Amino acid sequence: MEATSSSSSQSSYDKYKETADWLLASTKQRPKVAIICGSGLGGLADLLSDKTAFPYKDIPHFPISTVQGHAGQLVFGKLQGRECVCMQGRFHFYEGYNMDIVTYPVRVFFLLGVETLIVTNAAGGINGSYSVGDIMLIKDHINMPGFAGQSPLCGHNDDRFGVRFPCMSDAYDRELRALAKQAAEEQGCDSFLQEGVYCMLAGPTYETIAESRLLRTLGVDAVGMSTVPEVVVARHCGLRVLGLSLITNKVVTDYDSEEKANHEEVLRTTKHRTQDIQRLVSHLITKI
């Protein structure tokens, strides 16, 4: 595991290229769409046909996922006839990886020729009108680790990936969100589809009640421990991004509540809603 708290260990372009070249030599698939599967959502990769799977440990320079609910392999294949690559398991800052390592796969995807990134995650619902099991289209994010100086773009900028100061006001592609709403309607998922603002906290602790109340005041609809760094790097590389949060628990904002957030509940809810997300993403792929 290439973990460190130092942000100076930035991966060089050559390293990313070595990984990409190894993958290009190992599969005939040339995906234009990459999907990052969040906690318990790795089942998306099971829908692929003509599959080739590469465990992370076998891929040169690739980090290893250590979290329950993350299988830890890269799966190439076809979804509805479209060539895709799926990450079954992502990397998190709380695992001890720096932001450069957390986002390593995204730059590899860019070098593979990927043009669209779909990111999924399990998140806590802050918005009082959300129910457990809702799917939230991410329309914007608040990057708390970024506020604290933890950005994957800190340090030397390599112009071969993107500009020094990338725009983030258009981070989540408007056209892709419109297509996702259309796909949800056609698949009968629109009754539990929401659209809102995702906030990333570093984790691995769940939020305190005071923190949850603060996030609600800031206009946050859902909170989690991932996604934002990958989106930042994807936009830096010029990829189009669609983000989906599965609301797996209601965030506690009341001191009298007996509710407690836990990872088992998160995995239980994802299991319950997994087929709906799979239907939604599969149908959406045909429209991109």
CA dihedral 163, 146, 108, 286 (to 10 degrees): -90
Burial class (CB in 10 A: 0-12, 13-18, 19+), 221: buried
Cα distances (angstroms) measured from residue 28 to each of 22, 52, 76, 207, 249: 12, 10, 9, 44, 40
Point out the residues that are catalytic: 39, 70, 92, 94-95, 122, 225-226, 249, 263
Query: Crossing angle, helix 228-236 and helix 104-112, to 10 degrees?
Result: 40
Residue 110 · residue 235 · CB < 8 Å: no
Return the number of other C-beta atoms located less than 10 Å from residue 16's C-beta.
22
Nearest to 235 by CA among 170, 139, 147, 138: 170
Query: Crossing angle, helix 263-285 and helix 174-186, to 10 degrees?
Result: 90
Place of tokens 């990450």: 87
* Rounded Cα–Cα distance for residues 80 and 183 (Å): 14
